[in-house]
Amino acid sequence: MDERALGPIEGPFQRARLHIRGGKRRLRQGKISAGIVTLYDALLAAMESYVNSPEHKRSLVTKQGDDLRDERTAYAVLVRSGVLDGAFEFETFERLMERALNEEMPGYDYRDILQGIDRVMYQLGVMPFDDADLPPEDPKTY
């Protein structure tokens, strides 16, 4: 997929969906760290797509100095604007992703994180989606 060719809204939106699918597959395969990192990227892509949309951007409650390219700021603005309910602990997930980058986590119980990610993805309009609408997965991918 050439994300840039899809543009600043559809490109990250499609990446979010692909990475949700891939992240969940990795979790099912026991590749917990890789799954967590992939889902984190899906979340960043979903937020990027949302805040890049002119339609959505008009309804965002921003403060002077808010940099929507910063993931923590984007999450805070989405909560402040009522797009997200704030129940998902973004900073906790960010720390978990950092841990996943540095170590394998074979026994980690990811069910709560997965429920939280799904909830955020529904609120951002990324889910639900039909896997059949996505390009087929390459079985050679990690």
Residue among 10, 41, 7 at smallest CA distance from 26: 41
Query: pLDDT tens for residues 64-81?
Result: 999 999 999 999 999 999
Q: Is residue 57 within 8 Å of 31, Cβ to Cβ?
A: no
Low-confidence ranges of the chain (pLDDT < 70): 1-3, 135, 138-140, 142
Query: pLDDT tens for residues 121-132?
Result: 999 999 988 777
Whole-model pTM? Answer: 0.91
Q: Is residue 93 within 8 Å of 43, Cβ to Cβ?
A: yes
pLDDT confidence of residue 17:
94
pLDDT confidence of residue 44:
98
